[in-house]
Structure 1
Amino acid sequence: MMALDRGLIDWMAEVLAADGTVTHRRMMGGATLYLDGIVFTIVDGDGSLWFKGDAQSDATWDAAGCARFTYARGDGQVASMNYRRAPEACYDDVDAARTWALLGVAAGQRAPVKKRKGGKTAG
């Protein structure tokens, strides 16, 4: 299993400290990050940030040239998820990181609540 990039998780917690509490859950060699229970970004196994996007924020992500998260499926097809690569400034500029992260939080707030097996809602 790849080592989780705690530095990026800690960085996001610092950037968003005034907005709430950042928590994470390990997933697919990286982690999914939440702000007060709202999913807003993933940190992949390569140590890259991918902020949550949606139809409402797609134009903003596209204008900034932020690629959509893609991965190879078991059948060889390429699939995508509604996450966008963080602009480079997000790795060393608190204001840029907060602005883009909050765009991801807003997309997370608009996302439908998914039900887990057994009828419990996912957080």
Structure 2
Amino acid sequence: MDPDHLRDLFAGLPQLSIRRLFGGVGLYSEGRVFALGAFEQIWIKADAQTIPLFQQAGSAPFTYQGRTRTVTLPYWSLPDEALDDPEQALKWARLGLAASRRAFEAGPRQRRARALRSTS
């Protein structure tokens, strides 16, 4: 992922930072991760409130093959129409940031339970 393109795409977010994370990059706003850049794709954090919006936009969940099973992370692909449109990208990024805030406020036990429910 080209960091300059990511900075341009999400420039409207406050305190935007990009850091190496899991072989890709994590995108942060005000210290909260709202997206990942990995496997030549941008993945936006999602939760029960926002997953239906990602589904309607034709996005796919971030999955990978673990040792014994397929693992699904709470991130969904940035919809195609937002890949080169900062206004659209910002709309999705704000949804990711809101999901990140809700997950943090829920606490670790509830985050884990939600993550498990969203993969089944």
Match of 1:11 in 2: 5
Determine which of 46, 51, 58 is the counterpart of 1:65: 58
Q: Which amino acid aligns with 2:48?
A: A
Do residues 20 (structure 1) and 2 (structure 2) align? no
Alpha-carbon deviations, 1:60-99, whole Å to 9, x = none?
1111121111011122x10100100111122211111111
Matched, 1:34 2:28: yes
1:96 match: secondary structure: helix
1:120 matched to which residue of 2? Answer: none
Q: Could you list the runs of 5+ residues in structure 2 that have no partner in the other structure?
A: 109-120
Equivalent position amino acid for 2:6 in 1: M
2:101 equivalent to 1:83? no
Deviation at 1:24, TM superposition (A): 2.3
Deviation at 1:38, TM superposition (A): 1.2
**Normalising by the residue count of structure 1, what TM-score does the alignment of the two structures yield?**
0.77
> Cα–Cα, structure 1 residues 74 and 55, in superposed 2: closer, same or farther, change >3 Å?
same
CA contact (8 A) 2:45 2:74 kept: yes
Structure 1 segments of 4+ aligned residues over 6 angstroms from their partners: none
Q: Give the aligned CA root-mean-square deviation in angstroms.
A: 1.8
Q: 1:108 aligns with which of 93, 100, 112?
A: 100
Partner of 1:52: 45
Report the identity percentage: 33
- Deviation, structure 1 residue 10: 2.6
Q: What is the distance in 2 between the residues matched to 1:47 and 1:82? A: 18
* Structure richer in helix, relative to its length: 2
Provide the TM-score with structure 2 as the length reference.
0.79
